[in-house]
Amino acid sequence: MKAVCLLSGGMDSSTLAYVAKSKGYEILALHLNYGQRTENKERACAKKIAGLLEAREFLELDVGYFTRFGASSLTDKTIAVEEFDPARAHVPNTYVPFRNANLLSIATSFAEAKGADAIFIGVQSLDYSGYPDCRPAFIEAFQNVINLGTKDSTKITLYTPFISMTKTDILREGQKLGVPYEYTWSCYRNEGKACGTCGSCHFRMEAFAAIGKKDPIEYED
């Protein structure tokens, strides 16, 4: 059994790869560089995690075309990453239009070409983001697209084990599986010390606080 695991180098996708491995899959790690600010740090983390899991492949692809559309603070350096705001009603400006469909399309091409049985993606619909391409209905619709858009002999199941879990649940799961969180990166802004104030840092810090453990990475003062 082989599974394509989307491995960004963040907490969620790293935990996800440990989950896939624990279910008996050989890992085909797929790391996508789409021009985000903290790519170098994320790649280093993803490679380290893939190595620890003895991944069968580590494929890094440049999908830098996202930077050509603009319209997201993650990929357009002229737009500031907005601060976390618990009262926020709008989709945050870190939203990259239709990103997960792009990631899943690439993962499906890779999986079909390599004869993999599964794709694991670490999307969450709960306490996170308001991104439309993280909702369960989107994932179900995408499974249907996989079934119809690949050869009839191809059978690929899309797994989203974290879709109904909170970041804290995921961290608890990762602690059980022995995920080395010192080799994961979450901050949207920095590659040295994490900023501690962007949405991604906010949820990471909250999760470590909730389980009463110290986050092994460093933060700015």
Say if residues 21 and 38 touch (Cβ distance below 8 Å): no
Q: Which is nearer to a copy of itself, 8 or 186 (CB)?
A: 8
Q: Smallest gap, in angstroms, from Cβ of residue 23 to a copy of itself?
A: 24
Chain CA centroid to CA 219, Å: 21
Task: Name the minimum Å distance from CB 113 to a copy of itself.
Answer: 4
Report in angstroms how near the CB of residue 39 gets to a copy of itself at its nearest: 15
* Shortest Å distance, C-beta 184 to a copy of itself: 24
Nearest distance in Å: CB 61, a copy of itself: 4
Residues found near a copy of itself in the complex (CB under 8 A): 59, 61-66, 68-71, 91, 95-102, 104-106, 108-110, 112-114, 132-133, 135, 137-138, 141-142, 144-146, 148-152
Judged by CB, which is closer to a copy of itself: 105, or 190?
A: 105
Q: What type of residue is 19?
A: V
Largest CA distance in the chain: 55
Which of 145/210 has CB closer to a copy of itself?
A: 145
Contact 58, 211 (CB under 8 A): no
Structure tokens at 87: 């009262």
Give the nearer residue to a copy of itself in terms of CB position, either 156 or 201: 156
Query: Which positions ≥6 away from 79 have C-beta within 8 Å?
Result: 70, 72, 73, 93
φ, ψ (nearest 5 deg) of residue 187 = -60, 130
Q: Are 212 and 182 in contact (CB under 8 A)?
A: no
Token pair 């075309």 in the structure block, residue: 65
Q: Which is nearer to a copy of itself, 91 or 209 (CB)?
A: 91
- Which pair of structure tokens corresponds to residue 61? 């692809």
